[in-house]
């Protein structure tokens, strides 16, 4: 446990080299640490909490279904709103993980009942209602888990709206690019967002997770829908796929440039060679933006040391690689040669990077 002494030491270390006008409210800091300690959850508690929410939501909704209580729409709307209000009130008043399970269950059940009770055939209206509920909740209360839920619902309500109102997959690809750019902005401008000290800094962590998950999930959706309609050769999906690929390739080149800059002058001479090799890899994955997307996630998250994003990136890379080779309509011989060549390109980059080190050490 971080005792008072340790925390004060940390504050002093961090306050070194500050501006002369730097002031810090030590009591508030100590209070925050105290509160964090009381609510320190390990993975067991988190998983237990999520499982509890899922089981109780499902059984409550199951009971509603089987008892035919879903027919009385006005009742549903009133009860749903009540559940929502109670949930938001509890979360706002008691800032504690213990109340969270019950509150989030109440929130999900209430929201679902309210939306189901409105009973309209226009899916657009349902999605807009969902959007409104989540935006208002986000404005009223900002806590880790509930804000994560809200942001995810907002993103997916928007994607569902786009997907329902247009036939073309390319709009979702554009939305995906927006999400990726937003993720890059959130990771790169961490200092800016933290310094603003407003609602954005409070929901920063939830925003980061939500954007990571939704970017990779939307990419997976586009890749999988393309390959599902591969036989019918739907022109729609191909355009979406290539748009995404090109956008991701540009992002990777930008990131490679940023990384090379970090190594100062040592890599400057060989940087053109590295760019060419990277472009070679990107060309080979042009029909699967999932691979380039996963690589972007891995490089970004390692740069900004975001461990959760890094693990998601690695799992996504493995999944997309498997999917890519599984679906390739070439013979096993072609696939094997393809694989070996890609392997050699990776090893080539490895030797290019390391040869400079050896050269430098000799000098």
Partner 1 sequence: MEKIDREDIAITSKHSNRSRKQIEYLLEQYVYAKPKDWKKFLDLFLLVLGIGFVVSGIIFFFAFNWAELNKFIKIGVILLLLIICITCSFQLKIKEIYKKMLITAAAMLVGVLFAVFGQIYQTGANAYDFFLAWTIFITIWVITTHFYPLWLIYMVLINTTIILFNDQVQNNLNSIALYTLLFFLNGIVCTALLALTKYYKTDIPLWFRNTLVLTVTSIATVGISLSIFDSKLQQGLLLIIGTLAFYAYCMKYAQINKSTFFIGTIGFSLLIIVNSILIHIFNEDFIFFFISIFVIITVTALIKFLLNLQRKWTNEK
Q: Supply the minimum distance, in Å, between the C-beta of residue 350 and partner 1.
A: 4
Give, in order, the Cα–Cα distances in Å from 288 to each of 22, 240, 314, 323, 327. Answer: 50, 11, 16, 9, 11
Please tell me the distance from the alpha carbon of residue 95 to that of residue 287, in angstroms, as a whole number: 47
Q: State which residue, 55 or 85, has the beta carbon closest to partner 1.
A: 55
Q: State which residue, 90 or 172, has the beta carbon closest to partner 1.
A: 90
Q: Supply the minimum distance, in Å, between the C-beta of residue 221 and partner 1.
A: 25
Please tell me the distance from the alpha carbon of residue 313 to that of residue 29, in angstroms, as a whole number: 33
Q: How far does Cα 343 stand from its chain's mean position?
A: 29
Q: State which residue, 164 or 322, has the beta carbon closest to partner 1.
A: 322
Q: Supply the minimum distance, in Å, between the C-beta of residue 196 and partner 1.
A: 8
Query: What single DSSP character describes residue 298?
Result: H
Q: State which residue, 83 or 248, has the beta carbon closest to partner 1.
A: 83
Q: Supply the minimum distance, in Å, between the C-beta of residue 338 and partner 1.
A: 7
Closest of 202, 197, 199 to residue 25, by C-alpha: 197
Q: Supply the minimum distance, in Å, between the C-beta of residue 275 and partner 1.
A: 15
Please tell me the distance from the alpha carbon of residue 173 to that of residue 249, in angstroms, as a whole number: 14
Q: Supply the minimum distance, in Å, between the C-beta of residue 65 and partner 1.
A: 9
Closest of 41, 292, 88 to residue 180, by C-alpha: 292
Q: State which residue, 121 or 264, has the beta carbon closest to partner 1.
A: 264
Q: State which residue, 48 or 123, has the beta carbon closest to partner 1.
A: 48
**Phi then psi for 329, rounded to 5 degrees?**
-85, 25
| 283 burial via Cβ count (<10 Å: 0-12, 13-18, 19+) | exposed
Q: State which residue, 222 or 290, has the beta carbon closest to partner 1.
A: 290
Q: Is the dihedral of CA 207, 212, 213, 218 positive or negative?
A: positive
Q: State which residue, 128 or 347, has the beta carbon closest to partner 1.
A: 347
Please tell me the distance from the alpha carbon of residue 86 to that of residue 80, in angstroms, as a whole number: 10
Structural contact between residues 324 and 288, judged by C-beta atoms closer than 8 angstroms: yes
Q: Supply the minimum distance, in Å, between the C-beta of residue 161 and partner 1.
A: 31
Q: State which residue, 166 or 195, has the beta carbon closest to partner 1.
A: 195
Q: Supply the minimum distance, in Å, between the C-beta of residue 336 and partner 1.
A: 3
162-201: burial string, b at 16+ Cβ within 10 Å, e else: ebeeeeebbebbbbbbebbebbbebbeeeeebeeeeeeeb
Q: Supply the minimum distance, in Å, between the C-beta of residue 220 and partner 1.
A: 20
Structural contact between residues 134 and 150, judged by C-beta atoms closer than 8 angstroms: yes
Query: What single DSSP character describes residue 240?
Result: H
Give, in order, the Cα–Cα distances in Å from 92 to each of 85, 87, 88, 141. Answer: 11, 9, 6, 6
């Amino acid at each position: 446990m971080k005792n008072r002494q340790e925390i004060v030491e940390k504050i002093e270390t961090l306050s070194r080299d500050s501006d002369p006008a730097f002031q810090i409210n030590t009591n508030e800091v100590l209070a925050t640490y105290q509160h964090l300690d009381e609510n320190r959850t390990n993975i067991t508690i988190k998983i237990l909490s999520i499982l509890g929410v899922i089981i109780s939501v499902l059984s409550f909704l199951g009971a509603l279904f089987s008892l035919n209580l879903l027919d009385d729409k006005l009742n549903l709307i009133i009860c749903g709103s009540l559940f929502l209000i109670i949930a938001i009130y509890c979360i706002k008043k008691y800032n504690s993980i213990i109340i969270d399970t019950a509150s989030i269950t109440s929130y999900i059940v209430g929201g679902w009942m309210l939306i189901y009770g409105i009973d309209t055939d226009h899916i657009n209206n349902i999605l807009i209602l969902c959007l409104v509920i989540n935006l208002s909740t986000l404005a009223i209360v900002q806590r880790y888990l509930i804000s994560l839920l809200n942001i995810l619902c907002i993103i997916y309500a928007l994607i569902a709206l786009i997907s329902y109102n247009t036939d073309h997959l390319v709009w979702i690809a554009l939305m995906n690019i927006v999400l990726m750019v937003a993720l890059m902005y959130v990771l790169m401008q961490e200092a800016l967002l933290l310094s603003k000290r407003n609602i954005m800094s409070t929901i920063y962590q939830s925003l980061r997770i939500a954007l990571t998950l939704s970017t990779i999930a939307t990419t997976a959706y586009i890749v999988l829908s393309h390959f599902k309609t591969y036989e019918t050769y739907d022109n729609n999906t191909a355009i979406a796929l290539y748009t995404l690929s090109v956008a991701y390739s540009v992002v990777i080149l930008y990131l490679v440039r940023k990384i090379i800059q970090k190594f100062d002058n040592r890599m400057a001479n060989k940087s053109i060679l590295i760019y060419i090799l990277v472009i070679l890899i990107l060309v080979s994955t042009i029909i699967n933006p999932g691979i380039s997307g996963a690589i972007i996630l891995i490089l970004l998250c390692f740069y900004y040391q975001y461990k959760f994003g890094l693990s998601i990136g690695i799992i996504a890379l493995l999944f997309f690689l498997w999917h890519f080779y599984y679906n390739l309509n070439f013979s096993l011989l072609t696939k094997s040669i393809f694989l070996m060549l890609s392997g050699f390109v990776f090893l080539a980059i490895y030797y290019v990077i390391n040869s400079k080190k050896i050269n430098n050490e000799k000098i």
